Chains A and B, each alone.
Chain A
Amino acid sequence: MVKKQYRSAGEVTFDVFNYLILGIIGIAAILPFLFVVAGSFATEAEITKRAVFLIPTTISFDAYKFIFSTDTIVRSIGVSLYITVIGTLVNLFFTVTMAYPMAKRYLMGRNLFLNLVIFTMLFGGGMIPTYLVIRDLHLLDTLNALILPGAISAFNLIIVKNFFQEIPVEMEEAARIDGCSELGLLWKIVLPLSKPVLATFTLFYAVGHWNNFFSALLYINDPSKWPLQVMLRQIVMLSQSAAGDLSSMDPNFVQPPEQSIKMAVIVVGTLPIMCVYPFLQKHFAKGVMLGSVKG
């Protein structure tokens, strides 16, 4: 209906500019990353000749070959994958097991538990006391230090709890009459019904683990246990050589230009996010909207 209305010249101009500006903004959002991808495939000559380019004239995989031949980077990718997979499983376990009882309105002490959780969103011990607790638990320099201290996000917990609460009580009662146990109820009724919300949080938790830099900076001193994000900073920002152990490498191998190595590491650090992004995008609007539901 609106489309068929007469539009003044001013409005047409506005539309043209609006489409144009948003197109530019959209491209600007991913352009730096495209430059980095292009640079990661470039040769030394190319980088010296042209500062910025989107399509390199000769495509070289040397930077990637180099990255995957170094112990340090490959190991840090392994660490990142480990904390992402195990960490996300831990997150889901802790979040679901705590959210499920808290969704029961008849549970004794429910309000106390809820307030206990909400208070942590308002006030926290801070960096140093938390660090000392991790230290006293002998978690420093272990990968558990990257997984356990963030096992539950209070915010996510409350959203999952609210979601569980929405499940009709009748379904539970029917299952109970059929002789379903409490755990069976959670496993066979509640979890299957919560697939969309759990998928959302799986993705958000996983992205959080992959991108986590802060915990590793605080709790991991041993370079062999650094996740990729910390390694990235060492290589790109502190220009530390990526070649940890040169002796293990092919002596004929010529080191590719530093700029393309840096760019290739950035690409490797972003690639998993780009792979899950289509799935994320499907879910996140829902996740954000869930956040507005109050308990």
Chain B
Amino acid sequence: MKQGAAIGTAEIHAASNYRSRREVFFRRLKRDKWLYILLTPGLLYFLLFKYVPMWGVLLAFKDFQPFLGFWKSEWVGLEHFRTFFQNPDFFMLLRNTLVLSLLNLVFFFPAPIILALLLNEIRLSFYKRTIQTLIYVPHFISMVIVASISYVFLTTQGGAVNEFLYTVTGSKIDFLADPNWFRPLIILQTIWKECGWGTIIFLAALAGVDVEQYEAAVMDGASRWRQIWHITLPAIRSTIVILLILRMGTILDNGFEQIYLMMNALNREVAEVFDTYVYALGITQGAFSYSTAVGLFKSVIGVVLVLGTNWLAKKFGESGLY
């Protein structure tokens, strides 16, 4: 910036100004050469693994033939999109995705808020810390482990839950294959894995509440319920609003790993979502162009939703993300 100002005051005519700008450019490049050298691996990473694939989405408008390669494959315009929208699978995917997102919103979203409110009422800090330590654990367990534990306990072949059911009711329930059990299982797994972790952000907001507010409320004879309602809840309201809005932005994302792991031939009808569909068609069946089109459709809707909700967040007076 200093150099730029120095050039401005030099008041030399256009041609040599251009030359000196170039000189400044190279001088700065030379001065900061170590910084640019350090920057190179990271930039290469982003170009190679992020921007080349972005440009690769053009495949969605081509009919990719492996033996022809990317360049020689024929352009087909929007044909893959047309095929996809006319395919009954499209409605199945959209329905499954939206139902799962909605169930998540209704059953999972409030859980960390309630848990944080309960934790906030604990006065014994030792007890509070112990509980926090315990409930954060599942967040760090991989989805494969979560699914594996579910399998081990729920299987009809010697799984503990079914053994118990059998001794009590005399019959077993095939939780893992029954389509009716798929969605509740997914929601339960999510609650178990992420509910505790989700409290962190609310507890942080609550930590900022001035204790004097509670003291003043007690002086005025406010009960615990009233304190929660008038002090604690308003303190986390803006956090709740922004998380809710952000969740709207990711409504088409259902976590590939979890669904992939819990899906099987019997519950596919309710389990298949966009990402698993892209995987099945693209990677397993090699329909690269068609699956890229499906993925692109999802990404574009996702970007629109994220930007839209971010705009909404700002409207609500929140700071937004971008």
Contact = CB atoms under 8 A, between A and B. Distances in A.
A49 B298 CA distance: 50
Interface residues of A, number: 98
Contact of A289 (B57, B119, B204, B218): B204
B34 interface: yes
A152 interface: yes
Given A94-B42, A108-B28, A128-B291, A149 B49 contact: yes
Interface stretch (A62-70, A167-175, A245-253, A258-266): A258-266
A126 B296 contact: yes
B148 interface: yes
DSSP class of B's interface residues: helix, strand, loop or mixed? helix
Most buried by A among B35, B122, B260, B288: B35
Interface residues of B, number: 93
A153 B29 CA distance: 27
Nearest to B123: A3
B278 interface: yes
A270 interface: yes
Contacts of A97: 38-39, 41-42
A120 interface: yes
Contact of A123 (B42, B54, B152, B322): B54
A26 B142 CA distance: 19
A133 B39 contact: no
A113 B36 CA distance: 11
Given A11-B224, A125-B50, A126-B292, A132 B56 contact: yes
B48 A21 contact: no
A33 B140 CA distance: 13
Interface in A1-54: 1-3, 5, 8, 10-11, 14-15, 18-19, 21-23, 25-30, 32-33, 35-36, 39, 47, 51-52
Interface of B: 1, 25, 28-29, 32, 34-36, 38-39, 41-43, 45-46, 48-57, 59, 70, 115, 118-119, 121-124, 127, 130-131, 133-138, 140-145, 147-149, 151-153, 158, 160-161, 163-164, 167, 192, 196, 200-201, 204, 211, 214-215, 218, 223-224, 256-257, 260-261, 275, 278-279, 282-283, 288, 291-292, 295-296, 298-299, 303, 306-307, 319, 322
15 contacts: A18-B121, A18-B122, A25-B131, A30-B137, A33-B137, A35-B160, A102-B39, A125-B56, A128-B59, A129-B53, A133-B52, A237-B148, A237-B261, A262-B152, A269-B148
Interface of A: 1-3, 5, 8, 10-11, 14-15, 18-19, 21-23, 25-30, 32-33, 35-36, 39, 47, 51-52, 93-95, 97-98, 100-102, 104, 106-108, 113, 116-118, 120, 122-133, 137, 148-149, 151-152, 157, 181-183, 186, 207, 210-214, 217-218, 229-230, 232-233, 236-237, 258-259, 262-263, 265-266, 269-270, 273, 277, 280-281, 284-285, 288-289, 294
